[in-house]
Amino acid sequence: MYTLLSGLYKYMFQRDEYCVLILGLDNAGKTTFLEQTKTRFNKNYKGMSLSKITTTVGLNRRGASDPGELAPISVFSFQYYAESHGVIYVIDSTDEERLSESKRAFEKMITSEALEGVPILVLANKQDVETCLSIPDIKTAFSDCINKIGKRDCLTQACSALTGKGVNEGIEWMVKCVVRNIHRPPRKKDIT
- List binding-site positions for Mg(2+): 31
HSE, side-chain direction, 13 A CA sphere, residue 166: 19
Q: Which does 179 bind (CB under 5 to 8 A by kind): Mg ion, ligand GTP, none?
A: none
Q: Which does 27 bind (CB under 5 to 8 A by kind): ligand GTP, Mg ion, none?
A: ligand GTP
Q: How far is the CB of 9 from ligand GTP (least distance, A)?
A: 40
Which segment (52-60, 82-90, 102-110, 132-140) binds Mg ion by CB under 5 A?
52-60
HSE, side-chain direction, 13 A CA sphere, residue 142: 29
Give binding residues as ranges.
Answer: 24-31, 125-128
For the chain, state the CA radius of gyration: 18
- For position 94 contacting Mg ion by CB under 5 A, the verdict is no
Phi and psi angles of residue 158, each rounded to the nearest 5 degrees, phi first: -70, 140
Q: Which is nearer to ligand GTP, 37 or 181 (CB)?
A: 37
Q: List, in order, residues 6 or more apart from 81 with CB less than 8 Å away.
A: 21, 112, 114, 115, 118
Q: Which does 59 bind (CB under 5 to 8 A by kind): Mg ion, ligand GTP, none?
A: none
Give the single-character DSSP code of 28.
S
Contact 92, 27 (CB under 8 A): yes
Q: How far is the CB of 31 from Mg ion (least distance, A)?
A: 3
Interface residues with ligand GTP (CB under 6 A)?
24, 26-32, 51, 53, 55-56, 60, 71, 125-126, 128-129, 160-162
CA dist 104 and 124 (Å) reads 16
Q: Which is nearer to ligand GTP, 125 or 157 (CB)?
A: 125
Q: How far is the CB of 34 from ligand GTP (least distance, A)?
A: 8
- For position 36 contacting Mg ion by CB under 5 A, the verdict is no
HSE, side-chain direction, 13 A CA sphere, residue 48: 10
Q: Which residues bind Mg ion (CB under 5 A)?
A: 31, 56
